[in-house]
A and B are shown apart, each in its own frame.
Chain A
Amino acid sequence: MTNTENNAPHQKDNQPHGPQYARTPVPDDCNEAGLEPLSGMPVTGKDGQQYIWSRVADIAERQLVEQERAAALELLSINKAKLKAIFESSPEPIIISDDTGNITMANRQVTRLLGYAIDELIGKPIEMLMPLRYRPAHVALRQGFEIGTGARTMAFNREVKACHQDGHEIDVEISLSSIDDQSGRLIVSSMHDLTERKNTERVIRESEYRFHQLMENMSEGYTVIDPEMRYAYQNKTAAAHSRSEPGQLIGKKIVEVHPQGENSELLLLLQRVMASQVAEIVETSFTYQNGSVAWFELHVAPVPEGVSVLSVETTQRRQTELELEQKRSFVTYLSRLAILGELSGAIAHELNQPLMSILMNAESAKVLLARKNHSASEVDEILTEIVEEDVRASGIIQRLRTLFAQQEVINHEVDINELVTDVGKILKNELVNRGIRLQLQLDATIPTLNIDRIQIEQVLINLIMNACDAMETNGAPVEYTVICTTSTEQHGVKVSVTDSGAGIAPELLTKIFDSFYTTKKQGMGLGLSICRTIITAHAGALWAENNAGAGSSFHFTLPLRVQP
């Protein structure tokens, strides 16, 4: 506050306090006596001595005043130093300008914030620290303050732009206060650098924007349900999933919206998650009012506002899966037909046995009845045998019909040993014709399995037929025997088909399961591929290995429980 320093001498203090005369010569330091010589003339005293007649002023009072003043000045200087120290040590940049808008003081922080050296600022208009576009308006504003109208609004915190020496703009919060002294009004501008806060705000804003963009544009639906089961938030996709416009459902209760009403699966699920606070994932279907059905995977999780539902539409995926499953089961079916084609001779043979017995018995009965003294008991015995053979024939047809007709996968409790034995029956004549013996080694302790009987039969038929083929292509087999064993595994059952044929080249042990790979002259190369598909669908495994001796073994496992 340089303009508060006033070193101008006090002229009136120089006025003497009336004439006083001293008889003693004026000492050199007459000030100490509180006197001040004003004027003098030499005179000769009565003693003949030469004296100076002097007019002096009594300045004692004046000296006292001056002492007080010095003390005050010292105090002031101390205070000024203190203020200066505060001014300088303030963490915030402070600029003081005079009533004409010129900068009179600036602290180091100003340099740090705005780049200018303090010397470059002193005496310059405050507007130099503002971006050009704000300068004219500021001048007017400042002048408003100067005429006093802005006095009350001076001490505000206001966000403004400051301009760095290098030209870049800086966000600052500025607070103004005024000091009046004898030389006029001084404006103290204290600034607070907002760059960091602004940056943080910007980062938060951008993050929020991104989050919003993500929410609105993501392909998953996101819905928040409040504890009263009202829609609190829904993104665009979720609205589409609800077949509604974005925002249309907000505030509405689920029961009002959902066609299934109060006992809907969805509502129960939401209430359950709300109560348990444990997230759940479900796949469920929704039937809309127009009757269309869509499938969704719902991730329901507890959130502070209630529960959140992340919804993924799986209709397409399910359809693809369904189509794939249909194709798979159709190919499986075709392969079954192919097996039946191969087996048709053996099947015909099997069926012709009881037909022949029935025919023979019927003819016998006719012969008997033509006789006068036929015995009724003999005819009865014949008829009983006809019935028995008929039952046997229909049993064969029944087995074939299931193998032929069924396309859908239906899991039942199946005794695997019974299944193996039945396959043995189906293949009996085929094996006999080929001169091959089927030896069964069955583990009687095996529990029942939940499997699709027909498909597993198909796998086993395939493996046994392959084993037979393997032994036929072999030049000189030791023994024409296929061994089929069942055994209990840790988590299920293992079925093995072992032959004493040529074995499989090691590099083909995995390749033989590829589709359309075959070593047979008349083969599609689908059998093993389909077998593996079937076993995999049952959550089991199918693999091949060469025996220590001759031939190879095929094993498949089936778990005790197969999830539907």
Chain B
Amino acid sequence: MTIPGRVFLVDDQPALRKAMARLLTLENFVVVTFASAQEFVDSGNLSAMGCLILDLSMPDMSGMELYQMLLDKKCSLPVIFLTGHGSIETGVKAMKLGAADFLTKPVQKEELLSAIRSAFEKNRLSREAGLKRDEFNQRLASLTPRERDVLHQIITGRLNKQIAADLGTVEQTVKIHRARVMMKMKVHSLAELVKTVEEFKSA
């Protein structure tokens, strides 16, 4: 019973790629290996589901360079760094940039597996969050400009009659707009609407 999602492994050491892939496969992961960062970039898996295990020091494009590229492209694939000799400096840098984990070779099996699992979980959550955001954006897009204006007004806590005065209409009209907003955004209460909008405000 394989775990959904794939483990992408980028390391220039063939023996290590093979050994890791073997273990992870036995642990029911789907593993795809690459000998260089470029190979992975070319594979078109930048936004795939799962996680990326990345060796820091490789010839040509280093692990850190690839990671920077993923960040630039806003890829959601979590990255676990693997290094033969990790310095605190690079570790801190990687974690600050949002790496899922920073492991030093030789890493114990449980540590590795748990890092992968959390990365998977992180990916799952971020993917779910992504789906919800997409949904929210769709709902938001379905509002008319006037409904969108009303939405902005009601989440700041203004009363219908205040909104009507602002928009130069009557309270009844605002009530209708308000009902349509609640319906289109698929919420049942004002509190729920505020929470949803707050959650995706940044988008």
List residues of chain A with CB under 8 Å of any chain B CB. Answer: 345-346, 348-361, 363-364, 367-368, 382, 385, 388-389, 392, 429, 432-433, 435, 437
How far is B85's CA from A277's CA once the two chains are assembled, in angstroms?
70
Residues of B contacting A: mostly: loop
Partner of A352, one of B15, B27, B84, B87: B84
Is B107 interfacial (CB-CB < 8 Å)?
A: yes
B 72-112 to A, binary, CB cutoff 8 A, 1 in contact else 0: 00000000000111010000000000000000111111000
4 cross-chain pairs, A with B, having the tightest CB-CB distances, nearest first: A349-B84, A360-B19, A356-B106, A349-B85
Is B13 interfacial (CB-CB < 8 Å)?
A: yes
How far is B62's CA from A534's CA once the two chains are assembled, in angstroms?
36
How far is B106's CA from A349's CA once the two chains are assembled, in angstroms?
10
How far is B13's CA from A392's CA once the two chains are assembled, in angstroms?
12
Inside 8 A of B15's CB, which chain A residues have their CB?
A: 353-354, 357, 385, 388-389, 392
Give residues 4-60 of B contacting A (CB, 8 Å).
Answer: 13, 15-16, 18-20, 22-23, 26-27, 57-59
User: A385 to B57, Cβ gap below 8 A?
Assistant: no
User: B13 to A353, Cβ gap below 8 A?
Assistant: yes
User: B84 to A385, Cβ gap below 8 A?
Assistant: no
How far is B83's CA from A171's CA once the two chains are assembled, in angstroms?
105
User: B105 to A352, Cβ gap below 8 A?
Assistant: yes
Inside 8 A of B27's CB, which chain A residues have their CB?
A: 367
Minimum CB–CB distance for B7 against chain A, Å: 13
User: A364 to B84, Cβ gap below 8 A?
Assistant: no
User: A433 to B57, Cβ gap below 8 A?
Assistant: yes
User: B23 to A363, Cβ gap below 8 A?
Assistant: yes
Inside 8 A of A432's CB, which chain B residues have their CB?
A: 57-59, 62
How far is B105's CA from A348's CA once the two chains are assembled, in angstroms?
10
User: B22 to A353, Cβ gap below 8 A?
Assistant: no
Inside 8 A of B18's CB, which chain A residues have their CB?
A: 357, 385
User: A361 to B22, Cβ gap below 8 A?
Assistant: yes
User: B57 to A357, Cβ gap below 8 A?
Assistant: no
Minimum CB–CB distance for A470 against chain B, Å: 20
User: B109 to A359, Cβ gap below 8 A?
Assistant: yes
Inside 8 A of B13's CB, which chain A residues have their CB?
A: 353, 357
User: A359 to B108, Cβ gap below 8 A?
Assistant: yes
Minimum CB–CB distance for A60 against chain B, Å: 155
B21: nearest residue on chain A (CB-CB)?
A: A360
A sample of 20 cross-chain residue pairs with beta-carbon separation below 8 angstroms, ordered by A number, consists of A345-B87, A348-B84, A349-B57, A349-B83, A349-B85, A352-B105, A352-B106, A353-B16, A355-B106, A356-B20, A357-B15, A357-B18, A359-B108, A360-B16, A361-B19, A364-B22, A367-B23, A368-B26, A389-B15, A437-B59
User: B105 to A353, Cβ gap below 8 A?
Assistant: yes
Choose among A345, A348, A359 the residue with the greatest number of B CB atoms under 10 Å from its CB: A359
Inside 8 A of B62's CB, which chain A residues have their CB?
A: 432, 435
Minimum CB–CB distance for A447 against chain B, Å: 32
